[in-house]
Structure 1
Amino acid sequence: MTTRNGVWVVAACFNEEAVIVRFIERVLAVPGVDHLVLIDDGSRDATRDQIRTFLAQRRSLGVPVPVTLLELTRNFGKEAAMLAGLDHVRERCEAAVLIDSDLQHPPELIEAMVSEWRAGAEVVTAVRDDRDQESRLKVLSASWFYRVFNKVVDSIQLQEGAGDYRLLDVAVVDAFTRLRESSRFSKGLLPWTGYRSVELPYQRVSRVGGTTSWSPLKLIGYAFDGIFSFSVLPLKVWTGLGVLVSGISLLYALLIALRTALVGRDVPGYASLMVAVLFLGGIQLIGIGVLGDYIGRIYVESKARPHYFIRSIDQGGA
């Protein structure tokens, strides 16, 4: 049985060569951090090499290096990388901190998180404050997503401004890693577990190096993943819309029959016919698309493929 030891920090890395060494140094300088686990999610730059060089330099100086590098076989995505890290630390830590490695999450906040955890908090969630340095458009779109999500999902409510920067007690880590669904949405899965959360405000700063891998299309897709993972309301909406359109069509048919009985036969217009056909065709295609998305998720879940594969584990040494 592995002995549990303190607070472990888990950070996924993807093409972060410009900041990764600074990130490691800042995390290790935080009081209360016992170990750092870096998960390389198939980086195509020198991220892995820089981590290994840092570890080798520390070892050569005889300096303790409480850092572990998990190298995944390819890019499985941030959600899978975070799961890999939590799977690794689950039997080793008393609490785990999820943090981004691009330095937009200030590592210095971990000390306050640990204090809240030692005071009894099960989850400590970092929440962006009003001084966020992200672009205005990104902030507004994120706010819009939280509002829409909370309207359509009944089982949980997301805290606006809360992201993946969180401290999790080992009980929460164990519960979270037991959720093995393929379409993972951590922002929703963690509240779904029901553990009590304490919020800490922080200022998310602009990137100090590198470029984000999250394009607008990826962010939109991630938002839909969140909604479709926790709600069947889109299916109900299209069912209701189908009933509404059918009702309108029936009323229109009755109107035509009444008009024919009163004023005689009317020659149908090409424009009105095409509008009706295109409108109903569009409604059907959108409905099929929504249904197809849910069926696709069932298909992916039925295959039960592993979320990730690890190529190597580099233990820095404590």
Structure 2
Amino acid sequence: MKLPDRVDDVSARFLSVVVCCYNEAHVLPEFHRRLMLALHRLPVRYEVLYVNDGSVDDSLAILEQLCRAPLVRCLNLSRNFGKESAMAAGIDHAWGEAILFIDADLQDPPELIPSMVRHWLAGCDIVNMQRHHRRGDTFGKRISALLYYRLLRVLVDKYAVPQDVSDFRLIGAAPLNALRAMPERARFMKGMINWLGFKTVELPYDRMARGGGQSKWGPLALVDLAIEGIVAFSRKPLRWFSLLSALVFGLTLLYIAGQLSTGSLNAHDLILGMGAMLALGIALIGEYIGATLSEVKRRPVYLLSSTFGGLARQLKAPAESAPPVSALEERENR
């Protein structure tokens, strides 16, 4: 693929860099410094949109300082809604024709952004960054991540998340518009983006150690995210349970027939076995009912406490014709 190296014909393109933050005060100043150095090299216009996901450390105070620059602004959520919701807020409020997601913990190097942008300008709709090495992660994190991706590949059909592809990605205009048209409340962004299709490329990179603070993704958090993804994108567990039920039903009939022929039917063992299978089925169905309930209630994915910084009053958002459905009320502070 031939990548453009001249800036003359692409200077009108507009990129939004969305950074979701939760208790990242230790790394925000250094991350922002490196990010701006990388963005200054781009042949396109850009903005930086921080999403403060209810941080309880000094992240908000630091963001207020960073957002004094004209190209930097912040969405301050009313509480911690989780990364998936924070990313949805970035999608709703970004002004660029394309979005680039990057974490503030410095595990995803900002210096790779120019390469991602070149692939976008060369015609790629989605540019995924794929971890080649995870030297910055602990052994437990590497194992849990491996199991997480393997589980998704088994259960989430052909739309499974590619191995070791994180949220560090660039999404072009066509898939971005498609994402904005998807009404899900139970968000699983990795699956949603992969489901879209479009021209996609994976670029390998080495994942670095955190620049400070602690990871918010422990083994239990990954398990919870995997369950959310499976429920949102796969009916395989229900189908497998249906087949298992049919198999158990058939074996039960054979067992009853055999025991009746010998006159030694043990109803107690039969009831225990059937009860265990029914309990599993009820738990499985409950997960899907819970996901359905979230969609039916149609609560906002997030709420904004305030927005500040940048040129919020002067610039006009390209997506203004399709106002975000997830934010109830917005208060602008300069």
Q: Same fold (TM over 0.5)?
A: yes
Q: For structure 1, which segment, 186-195 or 138-147, has the greater mean C-alpha deviation from structure 2 after superposition?
A: 138-147
CA RMSD of aligned residues (A): 1.9
Partner of 1:204: 207
1:135-146 matches, cutoff 5 A: 135-146=138-149
Say which of 49, 57, 61 aligns to 1:45: 57
**In 2: Cα distance, 1:157 partner to 1:218 partner:** 19
**In 1: Cα distance, 2:189 partner to 2:119 partner:** 21
Indicate the structure with greater helix content. Answer: 1
Change (3 A) 1:17 1:274: farther
- For these two proteins, the number of residue pairs brought into alignment is 297
Identity, % of aligned pairs? 36
Task: Give the conservation status (yes or no) of the 8 Å contact 2:17–2:48.
Answer: yes
Aligned partner letter, 2:176: V
Aligned partner letter, 1:301: E
Say which of 183, 190, 193 aligns to 1:190: 193
1:38-117 matches, cutoff 5 A: 38-56=50-68, 64-89=69-94, 92-117=95-120
Cα distance, 1:282 vs. partner? 1.8
SS at match of 1:27: helix
Cα deviations by residue, 1:13-63 (Å, 9 ceiling, x for unpaired): 10111111111111111122721100001111110001113445xxxxxxx
Cα deviations by residue, 1:175-227 (Å, 9 ceiling, x for unpaired): 11221211111111001111111111111112121112223222101011111
**In 2: Cα distance, 1:23 partner to 1:301 partner:** 36
**In 2: Cα distance, 1:283 partner to 1:175 partner:** 40
Say which of 17, 21, 35 aligns to 2:25: 17
Task: Give the conservation status (yes or no) of the 8 Å contact 2:67–2:74.
Answer: no
**In 2: Cα distance, 1:189 partner to 1:54 partner:** 31
1:171-190 matches, cutoff 5 A: 171-190=174-193
Q: Tell me which stretches of 4 or more aligned residues in structure 1 moved more than 6 Å.
A: none
Cα deviations by residue, 1:48-100 (Å, 9 ceiling, x for unpaired): 001113445xxxxxxx54110110111111111111111111xx213210111
**In 2: Cα distance, 1:27 partner to 1:130 partner:** 22
Cα distance, 1:131 vs. partner? 5.0
SS at match of 2:244: helix
**In 2: Cα distance, 1:274 partner to 1:19 partner:** 61
Task: Give the conservation status (yes or no) of the 8 Å contact 2:84–2:189.
Answer: yes
**In 2: Cα distance, 1:44 partner to 1:278 partner:** 49
- Specify the structure having the higher radius of gyration (Cα): 1
Change (3 A) 1:67 1:153: same
Say which of 307, 312, 321 aligns to 1:313: 307
Change (3 A) 1:294 1:131: closer
Change (3 A) 1:210 1:274: farther
What stretches of structure 2 of length at least 5 have no aligned partner?
A: 1-11, 316-334
What stretches of structure 1 of length at least 5 have no aligned partner?
A: 57-63, 261-265
Cα deviations by residue, 1:208-263 (Å, 9 ceiling, x for unpaired): 21112223222101011111111111111111111111111111111112223xxx
TM-score, with structure 1 as normaliser: 0.87
**In 2: Cα distance, 1:25 partner to 1:316 partner:** 17
